[in-house]
Amino acid sequence: MLLQFVYSNQDFVADVHWSSGRRVGIESTPAKFDTTIQAGWTDRMNRGLFRYHLGDLQTRVLPGAHGYVAQLNIQRGIERRKPQEILSIQQQFNAKQFNFNKINPEEIIFEMIKDTEGGNEIGQLHQPSRMVVLVNVSPLEFGHCLFVPDPSRCFPQILTRSAVSVGIEAVLLSSEPGFRVGFNSLGAFASVNHLHLHGYYLNHELKIESMPVKPLVPEKGFYRLLDFPAGFLFYTESEGVEEVTGAICQLTDFLVEGNIAHNVFLTRGCPPSDCIQNKKDLCSRKGVRIAVWPRTSSFGAKEESAFNVALCELAGHLPFKNKKDYELTTEKDVMDIIQTYLLPDTEFHMLEQKLTLHLREL
């Protein structure tokens, strides 16, 4: 029988802080969400359901202002399933290709169910949805899992309100500042055209968590990142999830309609600011930062030898495919590679103007 993880807003962890040397960086007792995912993931690893055994990954922080976290993960580059051929950001679901209805059922850890109590949750404004959480059998890091909204409904890889809201809520349910959630659109290195988000633990602080921002439509939690790589940022705390979810989907729907590929990264982060904040604010992780990077589409493009530019690489986490690149790549090398996948400056600023106007009008 499928394990059910039932949660409500009362289960959200109000604030977390980084604490050196501990995987659980905040409380002596981890949240139920973390223990459930970690126990289920470890059980599947021990039962041999993964394509390879993931031990402690060799890790180093690249010298430089961006603090890139580099990890050597050769087996993922070799063993992961061959990505599907993607020709369009709006490509329809194809039941003949691999999808999450074809997995081994034992890969499923649990089903997330929100206890709505008052009946005002986002999911009830639309079709009722279920969120299945399963292991990624080619893991990037510890606890790497996939969040798949009702697999039987065969949604293509285009974000929905319920998927975004559960992604944000998953971050809020975790008591670990290193739990991250992300999304790759088609044309942005999504390898399966079946709606899913990634979740995993990375026990290293990333600059995206405190990067300064410029307000664009602050009443909708919408900002522009003021540092590389060029992108947009939303921010919310637990009480604002519904509103910011709507704004995020307004933006991503606009990108899909314009055939603009994009990556999304959700992480605990400090409140947005355009200047250096005090130490207390910089350490606080009360809310969730949601970064969205519009980028050039990669359809049938040759993969990079060092790393592919997708959700985690844009956020500052670099899983390297080979030892030579892992050992020799510099921060400048990383920035040069990433820049080739970002929109040209003029195109990005035109998009910023359109999105700002779009979000203000809605």
Supply the residues annotated as catalytic. 196
CA atoms within 13 A on the CB side of 249: 17
Could you give the CA distance from residue 69 to residue 312 in angstroms, rounded to a whole number?
A: 10
Give the β-pairing of 69-72 and 317-320: parallel
Please choose, from the candidates 278, 238, 273, 199, the residue with its C-alpha nearest in 3D space to the C-alpha of residue 16: 238
Residue 23 near residue 203 (C-beta atoms within 8 A): yes
CA gap 192, 179 in Å, rounded:
22
H-state helical runs in 174-303: 241-257, 279-283
Chain Cα centroid distance, residue 219: 23
Find where tokens 């980028």 sit. 295
Quick check: bond before 177 cis, omega within 30?
A: no
Q: Which helix (H) or strand (E) holds 334?
A: helix 331-339
User: How big is the chain by its Cα radius of gyration, in Å?
Assistant: 19
What one-character DSSP code corresponds to residue 344? P
Q: Residue 165 carries which DSSP code?
A: H
Query: How far apart are alpha carbons 148 and 324 in whole angstroms?
Result: 35
Cβ count near 236 (within 10 Å): 20
The answer to whether the beta carbons of residues 25 and 178 sit under 8 Å apart is yes
> What is the distance between the terminal CA atoms of the chain, rounded to a whole angstrom?
43
**CB 286 within 8 Å of CB 14:** yes
Report the alpha-carbon distance of residue 62 to residue 69 in Å, rounded: 6
Rounded CA-CA distance 296/230 in Å is: 12
